[in-house]
Amino acid sequence: MPPPAEIIRSKRDGAALSSDDIDGFVQGLVDGSWSDAQAAALAMAIVWRGMDERETTALTRAMTHSGQVLHWQAEAFGKPAIDKHSTGGVGDKLSLMLAPMLAACGAVVPMISGRGLGHTGGTLDKLQALPGYRVQVEPDEFARVLHAAGCAIVSAGPQLAPADRRLYALRDVTATVESVPLITASILSKKLAAGLDALVLDVKCGAGAFAPTPAAARALAESLVRVGNAAGLPTRALITDQDAVLGHTAGNALEVQEALDFLTGRDGGAGRDTEPVQRAVTLALGAQLLVLAGLAPDEPEALAMLQHSLVSGRAAEHFARMVRALGGPADVLADAQLTQAPVQRPVPAPRAGVVSAMDTRALGLAVVALGGGRLKPGDTVDPRVGLSQVRPRGTALAAGEPLALVHAASEAAAAEAVRAVQAAFTLADTAPPRPAAVQHLVG
Ligand code: URA
Q: What is the mean pLDDT of the chain?
A: 94
Ligand 1 pocket member 183 (CB < 6 A): yes
Q: Which residues are catalytic?
A: 83-86, 123, 171, 186, 190-191
Residue of 51, 165, 187 to test ligand 1 pocket, by largest number of atoms within 8 Å of CB: 187
* Atom from ligand 1 closest to the CA of residue 186: 4
DSSP β-ladder status, 353-358 and 151-154: unpaired
Phi, psi for residue 108 in degrees, rounded to 5: -105, 140
Q: What whole-number percentage of the chain has pLDDT above 70?
A: 98
Using the predicted structure, report yes or no on whether residue 271 has a pLDDT greater than 80: no
Question: Is residue 114 in contact with ligand 1, taking CB distance under 6 Å?
Answer: yes
Q: How far apart are CA 254 and CA 344, in angstroms?
A: 12
Ligand 1 pocket check for 186: Cβ under 6 Å:
yes
Q: State whether the beta carbon of 112 lies less than 6 angstroms from ligand 1.
A: no
Burial class (CB in 10 A: 0-12, 13-18, 19+), 60: buried
**Per-residue pLDDT, 272:** 45
**Mean pLDDT of the region 312-331:** 98
Per-residue pLDDT, averaged over 316-340, amounts to: 97
* 157-166, 265-274, 375-384, 404-413: least confidently modelled range: 265-274
CB neighbour list of residue 328: distance below 8 Å, 6 or more residues apart: 127, 130, 131, 132, 133
pLDDT tens profile 371-423: 999 887 678 999 999 999 999 999 999 999 999 999 999 999 999 999 999 99
Ligand 1 pocket, mutate which of 84, 87, 124 (most atoms under 8 A from CB): 87
End-to-end CA distance of the chain: 36
Give mean pLDDT, residues 133-146.
94
Does ligand 1 lie within 6 Å of residue 187's CB atom?
A: yes
Ligand 1 mean position to 341 CA, how many Å? Answer: 30
pLDDT in tens, 237-255: 999 998 999 999 999 999 9
Confirm if 203 and 87 have CB atoms less than 8 A apart. Answer: yes
DSSP 181-217: HHHHHHHHHHHHHTT-SEEEEEEEESTTSSB-SHHHH
- Distance from the CA of 87 to the center of ligand 1, in angstroms? 7
pLDDT digits over 81-134, tens only?
999 999 888 999 999 999 999 999 999 999 998 888 778 889 999 999 999 999
pLDDT at 210: 76
pLDDT of 277 > 90? The answer is no
Lowest-confidence range among 45-54, 69-78, 198-207?
69-78
Q: Which of ligand 1's atoms lies nearest the C-alpha of 88?
A: 8
Checking if the pLDDT of 274 tops 80, the result is no
3-state class (DSSP) for residue 314: helix
Q: What is the whole-number distance in angstroms between the Cα of residue 78 and the centre of ligand 1?
A: 30
Q: Is the CB of 116 under 6 A from ligand 1?
A: no
State if residue 200 touches ligand 1 by the CB under 6 angstroms criterion: no
Q: Enter the pTM of the model.
A: 0.92
pLDDT value of residue 268: 64
Quick check: 10 pLDDT over 60? yes
